[in-house]
Structure 1
Amino acid sequence: MGPETVTGPEGGSVSVMCHYGKGYEEFPKFWCRDDMVLCLGSHIIETTGSEAEVWQDRFSIRDNHTQRTITVSMETLTMADTSTYLCGINKPLDFDPTHAVELLVSPASTKPTSARTAAKEDEANFPNQHPTPAGSQASSIHFLLLVGLKVPIFLCMVCAVVWVSVHYRDSSCAMVPHRRDHHLPHP
């Protein structure tokens, strides 16, 4: 759907382009920081579902329905912007399709450097940064859904079955009169 890692200089800007499939053109698109579980309620910026570009603070987002792309720009980058972000589609009452993008901000240089030197500095500053494979992102989303939704729903269903069976048994016992063996004297 888009790049897995982007790098920008401190004080500079980056643009990220994410692609989406047919049928999602009219849905609002969003950009959020993945600090919370799937960015629930914490979109940094969101489109209205139209192609109009939206600006908010240092961020802009634009949706191109023809090319089915979302373009997000971040300006005046700070070291604190280094994080994982999600570009996604806001589907009400449904699971939002998202794509994770890791943003790496390289420290501002005090001396002019060549492109080759800057690339080596980026490698030195982020030696252990590897993009997350798309498969592991999908499996982590599945795990979150399993733990966050499926398990609680299953437990609620089990509790409901137990509650109904206990109350049904109690009410059926109350309807059947208790039999007592009456001992009649023998002649």
Structure 2
Amino acid sequence: MQVLLRLWVLFPGCCAGIDLLSLTDLNAVTGPEMAMGPEGGSVSVMCHYRKGYEEYRKFWCRDDPVSCLGSYIIETTRSEAEVWQDRFSIQDNHTQRTITVTVENLVMADTGTYLCGIRRTLRVDPSHAVKLLVSPASTKPTSAAKEEEANFPNQHPTPAGSKVRSIHFLLLVGLKVPVFLCMVCAVVWVSVRYRASSSDTVPHRRDHDLPRS
């Protein structure tokens, strides 16, 4: 910026296309100093601009000598329609004079400093620097994993036949145990009766039946 000011002072003719006001209007665009989002998630950044810049294109670029020289990550079309480009979206609200940028599916490489600004041909682009921080993915189960875990019984239901066989097995066991006990009792009773009847049929020896000497 100092170089441009010096050129404008020394050679006003060659820099006639540069608006001196745009060089000194450092607060034309304001916004947060930092934004943070989780890896795999999304983050939105809202910048504000001064009145008079409604009809200009708004842009979002990485703050380095290459990305912000007319090759922006994404920019508006002078309208208030939301524009999407890969994982990025930008929208200009002329009434509130805001620039809203959203970044989805964040990766660790997205960490860095970005500029949200106003594009002006042959003039300095008013902009505001925002430092974006991407936090590592949490080790906690994601919402998708939790949902899959919650739906596990529905996805893998127990076959109805298994439940029926289990019920039949329990019923059979419950019926067989009393029958078995009854059979044991019957055998014992028959055995006792048989022994009793056998003892009654055996003739008792009496003294007068013994042979005399």
- Normalised TM-score (structure 1): 0.58
Q: List per-residue Cα deviations over 1:88-139 (Å, max 9, x = no partner).
A: 00011110000000000000011259xxxxxxxxxxxxxxxxxxxxxxxxxx
Equivalent-residue separation in structure 2 for 1:52 and 1:79 (angstroms)? 29
Q: Which residue of 2 aligns with 1:111?
A: 140
Equivalenced residue count is: 113
User: Which amino acid is 1:40 matched to?
Assistant: L
Deviation at 1:3, TM superposition (A): 0.3
Deviation at 1:41, TM superposition (A): 2.2
1:4 to 29, 33, 36: 33
1:24 to 34, 53, 62: 53
Point out the structure with max Rg over C-alpha.
2
What runs of 5+ residues in structure 1 fail to find an aligned partner? Answer: 114-187
Equivalent-residue separation in structure 1 for 2:141 and 2:77 (angstroms)? 41
Equivalent-residue separation in structure 2 for 1:23 and 1:35 (angstroms)? 27
Q: Does 1:57 align with 2:101?
A: no
Equivalent-residue separation in structure 1 for 2:44 and 2:111 (angstroms)? 14
Q: Which residue of 2 aligns with 1:170?
A: none
Deviation at 1:44, TM superposition (A): 0.2
Alignment of 1:92-103 (within 5 A): 92-103=121-132
Deviation at 1:24, TM superposition (A): 0.1
Q: List per-residue Cα deviations over 1:32-66 (Å, max 9, x = no partner).
A: 01122671122000001111110000000000000
Deviation at 1:23, TM superposition (A): 0.3
CA contact (8 A) 2:67 2:73 kept: no
1:69 to 90, 94, 98: 98
What runs of 5+ residues in structure 2 fail to find an aligned partner? Answer: 1-29, 143-213
Alignment of 1:127-142 (within 5 A): none
User: Which amino acid is 1:68 matched to?
Assistant: R
Q: Does 1:85 align with 2:114?
A: yes
Equivalent-residue separation in structure 2 for 1:41 and 1:107 (angstroms)? 32
User: Which amino acid is 1:59 matched to?
Assistant: F
**Which moves more between the two structures, 87-96 or 28-37?**
28-37
Q: Which residue of 2 aligns with 1:48?
A: 77
- Normalised TM-score (structure 2): 0.51
Equivalent-residue separation in structure 1 for 2:129 and 2:66 (angstroms)? 12
Q: Which residue of 2 aligns with 1:123?
A: none
User: Which amino acid is 2:72 matched to?
Assistant: H
- Three-state SS of the structure 1 residue aligned to 2:109 is helix
Alignment of 1:107-186 (within 5 A): 107-111=136-140
User: Which amino acid is 1:16 matched to?
Assistant: V
- Three-state SS of the structure 2 residue aligned to 1:80 is helix
